[in-house]
Amino acid sequence: MAQQLQQAIEDKSARIGIIGLGYVGLPLISAFVSSGFRTMGFDVDQEKVDMLTAGKSYIKHIDSAAVASWIREGQLEPTTDMSRLSEADCLLICVPTPLSDSRDPDLKYVTLTAEAIAKVLRPGQLVILESTTYPTTTRDVLLPILSQSGLKSGEDFFLAYSPEREDPGNPDYSAAGIPKVVGGTDETSCKLAEALYGHAIVKVIPVASPEVAEACKILENTYRAVNIAMVNELKMLFDRMGIDVWDVVEAAKTKPFGFQAFYPGPGLGGHCIPIDPFYLTWLARKQGLSTRFIELAGEVNSSMPSYVISRVADFLNEVGKPVKGSKICLLGMAYKKDVDDPRESPSFVLMDMLRERGAELTYNDPHIPKLPKMRHHNVPDLTSQDLTPEFIAAQDCILIATDHSAYDYDEIVKHAKLVVDTRNATKNVSTMREKIRKA
């Protein structure tokens, strides 16, 4: 079985099935199609499948013309029919792994996908989990479900873990251009996964086990979360001392060794950094240990929206206005610059807090024309407002939550009464800086 699959991978006759056609799955399809493979795309969202079938992309950095070409040339077949999972030789699982309300890992999408695969799993298939999760998931959760098929791992089918690595909005790193870590539940599985990714990814790094690969992903994102928390905490301290933390970071990063720049913000967003460290704290509790350092970082980062709103209240108070009844426009609902991804965006937390305080709220985001529904937020029915001089001048406060490149910050400051900047987006605005406040 392994030799046949290895040969199919080498001559690119193997068909690749991507399960979950979101911000990870669709770029992966692009990488495999570009390297000469035929792909199938599986998703339970009929709207996504219909859009792809029509040759339309729903992700900003994936061009619709490319999708149309994949469909036209038979390089991608999207479907919601999970009974067709057996048609793919290699199955890559890219489904969400959120946290529950109690901040425990919620693996229901992984387990449901595994159960769907187990129903149709055939000899000679390779299954790779890419969804971010805690160490032992592949071996202790995925493997037992797949084994219910009656097939034996390492002989009849093959199983590995390779954590997704995406940096949306960064033109320097496509899915194909970011090295891939791979760990198999056995040596054969690891070699097959390494061979598969070797065709589509710039570099593949095999590791000793899926547990190492799973822990690698958690380490990467916990490292960022902890360092961002440190800078966020320093921002609050330096602000009280009248020191601009952005100037401090710019000065510190001139050191050519021993320092990496991290930047403060209104909170953490995206699927990874706000969530992944809590997988680790949950796992530690199961082992009878505590991860105080990580939990403290989570507390600091989670407190940043409250800090921002308190500063907005202070700045409005300076001009004799309460938050209640003030017209406040949020700039940027995406979780990071120049992307259309709203997942875990702190902008929605800011929106909730401002609405609770009675603000008359509007927003603008050139990448999110209408607010989407969000699991943990009561999202109002709002559309992005045009940033005309008249609109800006009518607002009591412009709150910059996401520093999109499309914004003309000079014009915004020129017409605004007050600008509260959480991203240092106005650093190059040279006039009327008396209107700008940092938060």
Q: Give catalytic residues, as residue numbers.
A: 272
Determine the Cα–Cα distance for residues 415 and 393; give it in Å rounded to an integer. 5
85: which residues sit within 8 A by CB, 6+ positions away? 17, 19, 42, 91, 116, 117, 120, 121
The C-alpha atoms of residue 35 and residue 29 are separated, in whole angstroms, by 10
Distance CA 297, CA 222 (A): 9
What is the torsional sign of CA 187, 192, 197, 199? positive
- The C-alpha atoms of residue 303 and residue 299 are separated, in whole angstroms, by 6
Q: Which residues contact 23 (CB under 8 A, 6 or more apart)?
A: 59, 166, 168, 271, 341, 343
> What 3-state DSSP class applies to 436?
strand
Q: Which helix (H) or strand (E) holds 364?
A: strand 360-364
**For the chain, first and last CA: distance in Å?**
59
8 Å CB contact between 244 and 238? yes
CA atoms of 238 and 157, how far apart (whole Å):
56
Angstrom distance (rounded) from CA 35 to CA 177:
12
CA 101 to chain centroid, in Å, comes to 19
201 in Cβ contact with 182 (< 8 Å): no
Distance CA 173, CA 62 (A): 13
